[in-house]
């Protein structure tokens, strides 16, 4: 498992143009949000997955690593600011991409989940 803590998201809001109040307006969040804290942008969530992936998998013998893409992405629950999250993955196979093009992993699942609070 790889671990991360979600922090503020204003730079991403500026980059994506998504300044929806559930991400950035602490006063309104305190009054109206069912989550009780700012929640991460979906693309911030994807960036956490990309970063944590390399904490889980060591890639050797490659001149570079390129993100080949995603087949399906779902956000079943929000990532709240200040919470800690962990990533787990199951590697199913590695396929040769072609002469001189290296290989690419095929993951059955990458799951980002909230860590339970320690009491």
- Where along the chain do its domains lie? 2-114
Contact 86, 1 (CB under 8 A): yes
Write down the pLDDT at residue 10.
Answer: 65
Give the span between the Cα atoms of 24 and 14, in whole angstroms: 10
Write down the pLDDT at residue 102.
Answer: 59
Write down the pLDDT at residue 31.
Answer: 96
Give the span between the Cα atoms of 112 and 44, in whole angstroms: 12
> And the tokens for 86?
């962990």
Reported as a pLDDT band with limits 50, 70 and 90, residue 28 is: very high
Write down the pLDDT at residue 70.
Answer: 76
Contact 94, 46 (CB under 8 A): no
Give phi and psi for 114, each to the nearest 5.
-75, 135
Which listed CATH number (3.40.50.720, 3.10.129.10, 3.40.920.10, 1.10.760.10) goes with 2-114?
3.10.129.10
Which contiguous run of DSSP H or E holds residue 45? helix 42-56
CA atoms within 13 A on the CB side of 16: 15
């Amino acid at each position: 498992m790889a671990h991360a803590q979600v922090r503020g998201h204003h730079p991403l809001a500026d980059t994506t143009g998504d300044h929806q109040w559930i991400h950035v307006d602490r006063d309104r969040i305190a009054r109206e949000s069912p989550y009780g804290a700012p929640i991460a942008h979906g693309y911030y969530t994807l960036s956490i997955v990309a970063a944590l992936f390399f904490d889980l998998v060591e890639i050797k013998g490659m001149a570079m690593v390129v993100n080949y893409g995603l087949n399906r992405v779902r956000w079943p629950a929000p990532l709240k600011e200040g919470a800690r999250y962990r990533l787990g993955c199951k590697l199913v196979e590695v396929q040769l991409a072609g002469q001189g093009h290296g290989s690419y992993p095929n993951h059955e699942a990458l799951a980002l989940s909230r860590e339970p609070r320690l009491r």
